[in-house]
Amino acid sequence: MENKIEDALIAMGIPASISGFDFIKDAVLILDRDGMKVKWTGVYAEIGNKCGKSASTVERAIRHAFEVVRSVRGDYDSVNHYIGFSNTNNASSICLLYRTIKREMDKEQTKVKNTDEQPVISEKRVKEIVRETIKEMLGGIV
């Protein structure tokens, strides 16, 4: 999950060097752990405690990171895909980002499941198919 979040943030154009990058990643991971009914002040406080920052500093850094990518500096298509341009508060943006990443991960897992469920042909059955094919080929020659 962590790599997917980082990939999405980079694709949108959030510079990895700004603190909001890591704070957004941490917030999405908290959503994944605790669910969508979190108290955002608590999320900011938890991230701040982890990093030695205040909750308001965390909130401001996240807001700044989203403002950066929603300006001309971000990749329009990626920003639109992951967080959109309407309802631009931090909580909505983080929730949209989380849901989009989660949906993409679910699709990837479904693809893997579908390829894993392909039937395996036993060696005995392969030999039978080869024999039948050879008989048909030789029958056409004779």
Residues 6+ apart with CB under 8 A from 76: none
CB 21 within 8 A of CB 14: yes
Q: What would the pLDDT profile of 64-88 be if each residue is shown by its tens digit?
A: 999 999 987 899 999 999 999 998 8
Judged against a pLDDT cut of 70, whether residue 142 lies above it is answered with: no
- Provide the residue range defining the domain that includes 41: 2-141
**pTM > 0.95:** no
**Residue 57 pLDDT level (bands cut at 50, 70, 90):** very high
Packing angle, helices 55-70 and 90-116, rounded to 10: 70
Number of domains into which the chain is organized:
1
Q: What is the CATH number of the domain that holds 83?
A: 1.10.10.10
